[in-house]
Amino acid sequence: MAVTTTVGLVGASGHGRWHRRRLAELPRFELVALCDVRPVEDAGGVAVYPTHTAMLAARRPDIVIVVTPPHTHLPIARDVLEAGCDLLLEKPPVLDRAEQAALETVVARTGRACQVGFQALGSDALTRLAAAITAGRLGTVTGVAAAGAWWRPDAYWTRSPWAGRRTVDGGRTLDGAFGNAFAHALMQSLAVASVAADGATEGAASAAGGAGWPGVLELERYRTRAGVEVEDTASLRLTGAGPTLSAAVTLCSAEFIPGDLTVTGTRGTAVLEYPTDKLWLDGAPQPVGPRRGLLENLADHRATGAPLIAPLRRVRPFTELVEALAAAPAPALLDAHHLVPHPDGTGRIIAGVAAAVREAATRQALFSELSVPWAPVGSPR
């Protein structure tokens, strides 16, 4: 008879609803406890606890999924592991290297598993891309360029108390184009760069923790709303031991670029559209299998010792980037004359920003290195 894995969920609303929908589709799991500091109206008969400590005192689920705001992750994650549960912790796992080290210590001491919610790392397209790089199909990889252009209306920035904030309740938090919306683009890029830098398999790259970092980080961030503290448009370039990693993203575009990673090598080029797991090698679309789910993989790890897809240690380079984001100057506020109304009337976009994103990716340039009027030379870095 198949063994049921019991699950507790901390942070029942927001993205926690997505986890609840997934759990409902997966018969090998049983959701036994929900926790949220706010009332949960639609618990569907599952026990609800107002704090994670109350939940852990009453139940010890096999796995606890933590889907609370970033600044709350460390203490909750620590308590979950200390209680003897395995952990699926939403991204970003923590906010800086000290927190990362503290959590890694708890993972090591308790012997529990910690999987981080970078679900795109379970992509078969990423595995195939890593295999192509390792097999030398692209030659020496010299660049990994991420590009994305989305629209997030004014209402997005008031979706929760930490939305658009650098601090909340006197402590740091993390939102913004790089910090949140395009976090998966950065993590995929770091994963690809790590494989390329190591000339290693995916597993070895994860053990190395990402050889493309530390490096020199150049970062430019912009915002279009005076009341929002974080970036809605940003570019970065990371140069180090491995390929040059760059990213150009915006949440202020009427034109949609889903999220492309262009991997350039001395013998070939690959493009990974990470939100959809589409992969092209030298322009030819590749057959790609389904994603492996992080929760299912964590349960397999418990049962058979199967390697985790996104163990805490693997995402260390992302945490290092997050720390650099927090330390960087506040994003520059764009002058209103660069903005035009979105066609649907839900906010203002940056005129021509998708073209700038494309050009920045092609040249691995920062926005200020292009001839765009809203990012003049000397933009804050």
Ligand X SMILES: NC(=O)c1ccc[n+]([C@@H]2O[C@H](COP(=O)([O-])OP(=O)(O)OC[C@H]3O[C@@H](n4cnc5c(N)ncnc54)[C@H](O)[C@@H]3O)[C@@H](O)[C@H]2O)c1
Can you give the binding site for ligand X, defined by CB under 6 A? 10-16, 35-38, 52, 67-70, 72, 90-91, 117, 119, 160, 180
Name the amino acid, one letter, at 164: G
Name the amino acid, one letter, at 87: L
Smallest gap from Cβ 100 to ligand X, in A, equals: 15
Smallest gap from Cβ 37 to ligand X, in A, equals: 4
Smallest gap from Cβ 15 to ligand X, in A, equals: 3
Smallest gap from Cβ 165 to ligand X, in A, equals: 11
As a whole number of Å, the CA-based R_g of the chain is 21
User: What is d(CA 365, CA 285) in angstroms, rounded to the nearest whole number?
Assistant: 27
User: What is d(CA 115, CA 192) in angstroms, rounded to the nearest whole number?
Assistant: 19
Smallest gap from Cβ 115 to ligand X, in A, equals: 11
Name the amino acid, one letter, at 195: V
Nearer to ligand X, 180 or 235 (CB): 180
Under 8 Å between Cβ of 158 and 165: no
- Measured between its terminal Cα atoms, the distance across the chain in Å is 58
Nearer to ligand X, 52 or 237 (CB): 52
Q: Which residues pair with 292 in a beta bridge?
A: none
Task: Kindly give, in sequence order, each residue whose CB lies less than 8 Å from that of residue 227, ignoring residues fewer than 6 positions away.
Answer: 157, 164
Nearer to ligand X, 186 or 200 (CB): 186
CA nearest to 144, candidates 220, 213, 223, 231: 213
Pull the structure tokens for residue 243. 């390929």
Nearer to ligand X, 29 or 274 (CB): 274
Nearer to ligand X, 117 or 143 (CB): 117
Nearer to ligand X, 38 or 109 (CB): 38
Nearer to ligand X, 160 or 362 (CB): 160
Under 8 Å between Cβ of 325 and 174: yes
Distances (CA, A) of 337 to 39, 62, 177, 222: 43, 54, 22, 14
Pull the structure tokens for residue 355. 């073209």
Nearer to ligand X, 160 or 286 (CB): 160
**141-151 and 244-250 as β-strands: parallel, antiparallel, unpaired?**
parallel
Smallest gap from Cβ 12 to ligand X, in A, equals: 6
Please provide the DSSP assignment of 66-117 as one string: E-S-GGGHHHHHHHHHHTT-EEEEPSS--SSHHHHHHHHHHHHHH---EEES
Q: Residue with the closest Cβ to ligand X?
A: 14
Smallest gap from Cβ 10 to ligand X, in A, equals: 5
Smallest gap from Cβ 75 to ligand X, in A, equals: 8
